Structure 1
Amino acid sequence: MKVFRAGMALAGLMLAGCQQAPAQAAGGTIEAVNHTRWAINHFSVNGQSGIDIIGPHQGGGGGCCFRAPAQWQPGMTVKIDWETGVHDMEGFPGYADREKYIAWDKKMRSQNKQHTATVPVPDYTGQKTCGITVHFLPCDKVKVTTSCHIYSDPQYPVKEPLSMPEPATCAR
């Protein structure tokens, strides 16, 4: 009987600890939709990786995990870090000639650019949340959503087309 009581007391303490943790909405993966002509070599949301390489005009990701707070608050933001680059194997010399490969790799890497943006999290009050999806737009703009709908669903909140032209100049 003493073991049973001790077990119940321990279970009660564990439950009390869980109840004191900050309430969180349903979590999910970190996904992305790339609306640009550049590859997204890698990206992260608040330092959590979204998995690497999303080609131009493609979707991907699948990094774990993003969990939104149970209640949306005005002013909520996430920090997105990403690297863009060329997603083109044109001119790839293979690996046999090391000098040619190193020169090609250096040329490809020279086109990579690092980006950071702090973006607002749209109001999700009264809606189920499912991780986060980052939309990479031309001119290094970013939008995010916690929607459970998929990009092709009419109820999906981000309406930009997958293939967006890059303007000649971007407003800063």
Structure 2
Amino acid sequence: MARKIITGCVFLVLFMASSCSQATATNSESSAANISGINHVAGQTVNLFSINGYGGTLTGNSCCIMIPDKWRPGLKVHIEWETDPEPYAHLPPLGTDEYRKAYALHKTKYQQHSTIVDIPQYGKERCGLTVHFLPCNQVKVTTVCSGYGTPNYPIKAPLKMKEPASCPA
């Protein structure tokens, strides 16, 4: 009986060790990267967003998403976000019953969006994943290290863009 227990324990230790080495091999092929976002749409707020389930922020960087160390064709991310089409709506004073009722009604106007986009090709240098929220619920992503508005930044869309009268289907 003791021999079966010892054999079982040895098997369990070997199994756990092989699982750890597999996880390490997989993780060594990807690195953690910051997530950030930039809203280009005037009169609309991005309340929250996520990339492959990892939450991002429009106020700086948040951590983290795993990005493969080497880019490959077909590399995609799933982006989900919530917008407030009336971010400057007038509400009653905070903390009152009237505020709670008005906010509950206001929140029903929030819109949920989701898309899958390609990650553009990158080399050894990549500095996180930045999502650009554009009119017509379009998004673009980049991994470049230079900041938005600098000459080498690939996304040139201006801030405070207006929604067109109709969006392409």
TM-score per shorter chain, which class? 0.7 to 0.9
Further displaced range: 137-146 or 22-31: 22-31
Answer with 1 or 2: which has the greater Rg. Answer: 2
* CA offset digits 1:24-59 (Å, max 9, x no partner): 4553311000001211111000000014xx4xxxxx
Runs of 4+ in 1 over 6 A off after TM superposition: none
Gaps of 5+ in 1: 1-12, 55-59
- Distance change in 2, residues 1:48/1:19 (3 Å): closer
Gaps of 5+ in 2: 1-16
Aligned to 1:9: none
Shift of 1:62: 2.1
Q: CA RMSD in A?
A: 2.3
For residues 27 and 73 of structure 1, what CA distance do their matches in structure 2 show? 17
TM-score, structure 1 length as denominator?
0.77
Shift of 1:66: 2.0
Q: Does 1:139 align with 2:145?
A: no
Aligned to 1:65: 64
State percent identity of aligned pairs: 38
- Distance change in 2, residues 1:165/1:91 (3 Å): closer
Q: Is the 8 A contact 2:131 2:142 kept in 1?
A: yes
Q: Is the 8 A contact 2:29 2:68 kept in 1?
A: yes
List aligned pairs for 1:1-172, cutoff 5 A: 17=21, 20-24=25-29, 26-37=31-42, 38-51=44-57, 54=58, 60-85=59-84, 86-88=86-88, 90-95=89-94, 97-98=96-97, 100-124=98-122, 126-172=123-169
1:122 alignment partner AA: P
For residues 138 and 66 of structure 2, what CA distance do their matches in structure 1 show? 23
The size of the alignment, in residue pairs, is 149
- Distance change in 2, residues 1:27/1:155 (3 Å): farther
Further displaced range: 162-171 or 137-146: 162-171
